[in-house]
Amino acid sequence: MSKIISGFSKFSKDEKVDWLLKNYFTNSSEALKVIQQYWNDDEKLQQLHDDFIENTITNFYMPFGVAPNFVINNREYTIPMVLEESSVVAAASLVGKFWSTRGGFKTTVIGTTKIGQIHFMFAGKKGDLESYFAKNKIELFAATASITQNMEKRGGGILDIKLVDKTDKLANYYQLHITFETKDSMGANFINSCLEAIAKKFEKDDIEIVMSILSNYVPECLVRAEVSCKIEELGGENPQKFAEKFYQAVKIAEIEPFRAVTHNKGIMNGIDAVVLATGNDFRAIEAGAHAYASRSGTYTSLSHCTINDGVFKFWFEIPLALGTVGGLTALHPMAKFSLELLQKPSARVLMQIIAAAGLAQNFAALRALTTKGIQHGHMKMHLQNILNQFDATVEEKEEITAYFDKRTVSHSAVVEKLKSLRKPKVKWVDFLDFDTIKYKLSTLSEDSKPVFGQMNAQQMIEHLSAVTQIANGNWNINVFVSDEKTARRKPFLQTENELQTGFRASFIADEPIKLKFSSIEIAIDDLLYQLQSFLLVFKREENRTVVHPFFGELNFEEWKKFQVKHFTHHFKQFDLL
């Protein structure tokens, strides 16, 4: 059946959900449950979210975290961050605190100019076009008067309109390159509206407008963030060595594009998280930042480092076109919350806060890479994601977190540890609890069937007695166990692992031995006698050791551990646990 549909956008929300469930999900009730559990109980608030985009069927939650202890231009901040990647918020928080005692982050807005372009084709003489542009430039400004009047009252508007010749790249291709100041507004709608008005005014028979659109590459909407301190103030065992490795790591990113991409991705971890939290366009910021990193013709590091005259300095300049009024910042309740948390910054101040977050994240990543390695902290945080994935309890999380405190975290290792915790606890048999041993074994009869193996009930009891006699010195088994085998096998006795079904030492015959006693009752009494003897012989000679035919030479404690496993194994054989 075809899944191509017409008129989907006209469906109600419930109708859209119903169509999706019928066409794409085998378990529609479970899929519907997932969709509905993310709906907001407040219908008005849910409707607000539904109206942000088209064809909304539910909400997609992202964690909203905060990074405290930032000092930016001598002002304290707690920075909101929205992202799904573990360790980013923790790293930013640690670095914020680190630099708060070393002068904090120093930031400067270099420029706030934004750009829009009208792309058009003109096949005539360039001189004629230049004359037409110069003659009508004032009129082009005037064409946007109704759009720009409010922006101009706030100190913004169109800064300049330039004619740009691009015919060396593409035949007949020209631009109107227009610069804007949009103050606290990100300005996308404002800029695009101005461009369309100017294009309409500029167009004539021999000028063909191809498109009019803002550019997300804004190299003159630029902010600088920096941290610096004396090298000895960096702390650690060898701050000079740390500074040198850090410097080398930055230099590598400056010359090696493969490294630079990941290096800059770390910067954007911090930047995107705050951009998203404040309701700004992180996709535009990403595109512009990476274009800026390529402005020389080669992709390179956005950040830089120097260590001169005993001073460590780390900084970057990055284009950030942001807004604090209009758009999603005015609609999304959490975006408004974030801006209030940031003390209601202007767009210029927000540029500086976000730049500091990006530099902090870059510093954190480079510090980790050049010291403990990036996975040390990242996987510790990722550990919680793995545990949540498997619905770990609070107790399981505490035990596993402690277990991996000084161990390498990997998905498989965490899953294995979790499985071991969830493995049914073995009900070990206390073979020295004579009353319980006698009671349990007395429930057996000649008709009792084993769960596994060939022994009947009495043969199993006599087998336990016979092996106990080895420890007592009453049954000498002519078996040699090398030191190498003993060293490899004995550690098993210290584990919580059971003897596997089918385990059989080499001295045990393939077929069960003939019965020694005339009844189960007499066999039980003999076993209890052998167990009492076991205690007595080791009490008389505390340092006594006896060779076990599989594990090698064992002392009293080691024999007890074996006996617990051995009795448990055979009690399970007859379902006595």
**Helical packing angle, 520-540 and 457-472, nearest 10°:** 20
Please identify which residue in the block is written with the tokens 């003390």. Answer: 343
From residue 205, how far is each of 133, 151, 202 by CA, in Å? 14, 32, 10
> Could you give the angle at the alpha carbon of 372 between the alpha carbons of 368 and 378, nearest 5°?
60
CA-based max dimension of the chain: 124
Nearest Cα residue to 489 out of 419, 404, 554, 431:
554
Q: How far apart are CA 146 and CA 157, in angstroms?
A: 11
CB 280 within 8 Å of CB 186: yes
CB 364 within 8 Å of CB 91: yes
Q: How far apart are CA 273 and CA 318, in angstroms?
A: 16
Which residue type occupies 381?
Answer: M
**Helical packing angle, 347-369 and 239-255, nearest 10°:** 110
Please identify which residue in the block is written with the tokens 């994240």. Answer: 361
Residue 77, beta-bridge partner list: 70
Q: DSSP per residue over 213-271, as a string?
A: EEES--TTSEEEEEEEEEGGGG-SS-HHHHHHHHHHHHHHHHH-HHHHHHHHHHHHHHH
Nearest Cα residue to 219 out of 294, 123, 273, 308:
294
Where do the H-state alpha helices sit in 456-511? 457-472, 483-489
Q: Is 255 exposed, middle or buried (0-12, 13-18, 19+ CB in 10 A)?
A: exposed
Please identify which residue in the block is written with the tokens 């930016």. Answer: 72
Where do the H-state alpha helices sit in 124-167? 126-142, 145-153
Q: Give the DSSP letter of residue 105.
A: B
Cβ-Cβ contacts under 8 Å for 499 (sequence gap 6 or more): 565, 566, 568, 569
Residue 204, beta-bridge partner list: 207
Cα R_g (the chain), whole angstroms: 38
Cβ-Cβ contacts under 8 Å for 395 (sequence gap 6 or more): none
**Catalytic residue IDs:** 85, 265, 281, 378
Nearest Cα residue to 113 out of 20, 164, 177, 26:
177
Nearest Cα residue to 350 out of 217, 264, 223:
223
CB 482 within 8 Å of CB 426: no
